[in-house]
Amino acid sequence: MSGFLEIRGLSARLAGTGQRLLRSVDISLPAGSVRGLVGESGAGKSMIGKAVLGVLPKAVEVIEGEILLDGQDLQKVSPAERRRLIGAKAALIPQDPLTALNPSRRIGPQITDRLVDILGWTKARAATRALEVLAEVSIPEPERIMRLYPHELSGGMRQRILIASAFAAEPKLIVADEPTTALDVTVQKQILKLISELQARHGTALLFVTHDLGVVSKVCDTLSVLYAGKVVEDTTVERFFAAPQHGYSSALLAATPRHTDPSSSLKPVPREVLDAVAAEVAASDAAWRPSGGARG
């Protein structure tokens, strides 16, 4: 089955040291489905999201692999065309809300500009739409909030601004990079419901980066478990929670705290499990040969 977003054999490394950040990542995401992306801090989850949106840092170079958005290989089109394609079809909810917003501009124009510039909407239509999405993410008094500056908002409000802004254009693909870390559970629940609804209504595909397996179990259909830039398990959510295949996956699941159980203690993923998965990654590295020449 070919998905709305297809990542095939994507490998990336640091330009300076040659350290590998992504190792032949394969991800398939059909329209209207949600894929969770989990893995420890620094595993390369955000890198994948940035690669899809074409905003990889300068220091990171793609060695090989292709990214197909709605059937089109993003690496093969001109940069201008790529920006247009991505702008029209995809949106990113970035991981750090405060730095993603311009500190010297009011919230309102920061949401509407995208609609006006990329989608060519009129200012009035964009403003109406902005108010509508802000209300959808339960921002109180949206008219007032639109006139505030980012530093006058709470952490969770900023995050919801970014969520609203990604939703505003009703893109076909949303890459959400830990979009609910600053939200309390009640708002989180509301937003996750909103996401499910949107996706049911518009067939939006969603790549959902998170640490919270609880959230994964509520919104995701499929799941990729990442370790050191390698997908160690690619499975459906039902199968993952019933019986994870990979040792690292089961350790992650076991380490997830449950508030309902007061005796649940903190267990980091055990050393042996980490060593085993690191050895596996090293072994696959040794066997890996770049197919075709290096591409910048």
Partner 1 sequence: MLDGRGSIRRRSGARLWLSAAWLTVFVLAALLAPLISPHDPLAQDLMLGRLPPAWIAGAEPGYWLGTDSLGRDVLSRIIHGARIALVVALIAGTATCLLGSVLGLVAGFYRGWADRLISRLVDIWMAFPPVLFAILLIAVLGTGLTSVILAIVIIDWTRFCRVVRAETLNQSKMDYVHSAKVAGFTRLRTLATEILPNVLPTIIALLTLEMGIAVIVEAILSFVNLSISTDQPTWGGMIAEGRTSIHQAWWVLVFPLIALFLTVLSFAQFGDGLRERFDPVLR
Partner 2 sequence: MADNRADNIFEVSDLRVDVADMTRKPLFGPAPRLEILKGISFTIPRGAVLGIVGGSGSGKTTLGRTMVRLAEPSGGRMLFDGHDIAHLSDAAMRPLRPRIQMIFQDPLSSLNPRLTVGRTVAAPLNARANDPRVGEALEHVGLPANFARRYPHELSGGQRQRVGIARAIAMRPEFILADEIVSGLDVSSQAQVLMLLEKLVAELGLTLAFISHDLSVIRRLCSRVIVLRSGEIVEDAATVDLFERPQHAYTRELLDAIPTPDPSVRW
Ligand X SMILES: Nc1ncnc2c1ncn2[C@@H]1O[C@H](COP(=O)(O)OP(=O)(O)OP(=O)(O)O)[C@@H](O)[C@H]1O
Residues that bind Mg ion (CB under 5 A): 46, 95, 154-155
Taking the complex as a whole, how short is the minimal distance between the CB of residue 131 and partner 2, in angstroms? 15
Contact range with ligand X by CB under 6 A, out of 44-52, 66-74, 100-108, 257-265: 44-52
For 129, other C-beta atoms within 10 Å of its C-beta total 20
Which of 123, 128, 143, 155 is in the footprint of ligand X by CB under 6 A?
Answer: 155
Interaction between residue 114 and partner 1 (CB under 8 A):
yes
Whether the Cβ atoms of residue 204 and residue 198 lie closer than 8 Å to each other: yes
Q: x-or-dash pattern for partner 1, window 26-65, by CB under 8 A? A: ------------------------x--xxxxxxx------
Interaction between residue 154 and ligand X (CB under 6 A):
yes
Report phi then psi at 121, rounded to 5: -75, 160
Which of 31, 98, 182, 253 is in the footprint of ligand X by CB under 6 A?
Answer: 182
Which of 36, 39, 94, 247 is in the footprint of partner 1 by CB under 8 A?
Answer: 94
d(CA 60, CA 47): 9
Taking the complex as a whole, how short is the minimal distance between the CB of residue 43 and ligand X, in angstroms? 4
In the complex with Mg ion, the residue whose CB is nearer, 33 or 95, is 95
Interaction between residue 269 and partner 2 (CB under 8 A):
yes
Contact range with partner 1 by CB under 8 A, out of 18-26, 130-138, 162-170, 204-212: 162-170
d(CA 43, CA 21): 8
Interaction between residue 157 and ligand X (CB under 6 A):
yes
Taking the complex as a whole, how short is the minimal distance between the CB of residue 58 and ligand X, in angstroms? 7
Interaction between residue 151 and partner 1 (CB under 8 A):
yes
Interaction between residue 56 and ligand X (CB under 6 A):
no
In the complex with partner 1, the residue whose CB is nearer, 13 or 230, is 13
Interaction between residue 162 and partner 1 (CB under 8 A):
yes
Q: Taking CB within 5 to 8 Å according to partner kind, which of Mg ion, partner 1, partner 2, none is near residue 50?
A: partner 1
Q: Where does this chain bind partner 1 (CB under 8 A)?
A: 50, 53-59, 91-92, 94, 98-100, 103-104, 110, 114, 149, 151, 162, 165-166
